[in-house]
Amino acid sequence: MIATLEGIIDEQLLDSVILNVQGVGYGVAVTVEDHGQLTAGKPAKLFIYEHIRENSYDLFGFVGRDTKQLFELLLGVNGVGPKMAMSILSIGNSSEVRSAIAGGDTKLIQRANGVGKRVAERVVVDLKDKVGLTGVDLADTGLLLSESTAAGDEAAQALMSLGYSPADAMLALKSIDSSLSTEERIKLALKGKP
């Protein structure tokens, strides 16, 4: 079993790299995030996942061990193969993907090529408690939330019963005055106005 490969990046292709390890060029599929961190002509170490089938032998490489672990978790979800897992990991950096899963953001997960609503929901249900996050880090708002925050807010609960993820519900309510009545906050959140 190949656990890691270390060498020089010979070539960067669309969704993979050729890693030259002492004269042997390994074609390794990488995520968009990792692709951006690798540079042709520079040394690199990749954590490797081997996918061996009867008619193919594929290598998937990751700059960080945590990204490889998330990839392996995704493979444990029914209906998710290596290419779909790579597609999910390419919707953002690994912490954004973890946050989307922990926060139940199926819409973001569906942005991955080939991922439909059912698979996105299965990913959230199966991995929500396994991604290593207790809360959702909304980096663009600077707000750290947990589901318990949404669970303790009646307006957020109402929005979640209408199909909002906990993160979306809290984001919709963020700029609305919390001293207003629950009903008023829900109405304003649904209108999208503070």
Residue 51 pairs with which residues in a beta bridge? 58
Cβ atoms of 108 and 115 closer than 8 Å: no
Q: Which CATH number applies to 65-133?
A: 1.10.150.20
pTM of structure: 0.66
Q: What topology does CATH give the domain 4-63?
A: OB fold (Dihydrolipoamide Acetyltransferase, E2P) (2.40.50)
Q: How do the domains of the chain map onto residue ranges?
A: 4-63, 65-133, 135-194
Residue 51, H or E segment: strand 43-53
> In this structure, what are the phi and psi dihedrals at residue 17, rounded to the nearest 5 degrees?
-135, 160
Tell me how many helices (H) and strands (E) the chain has.
Answer: 10, 7
Same topology for domains 4-63 and 65-133, yes or no?
no
How high is the pLDDT of residue 152? 55
Structure tokens at 82: 């290596």
pLDDT tens-place string over residues 30-85: 998 899 899 999 999 999 999 998 898 999 999 999 899 999 999 999 999 999 99
Structure tokens at 65: 């061990």
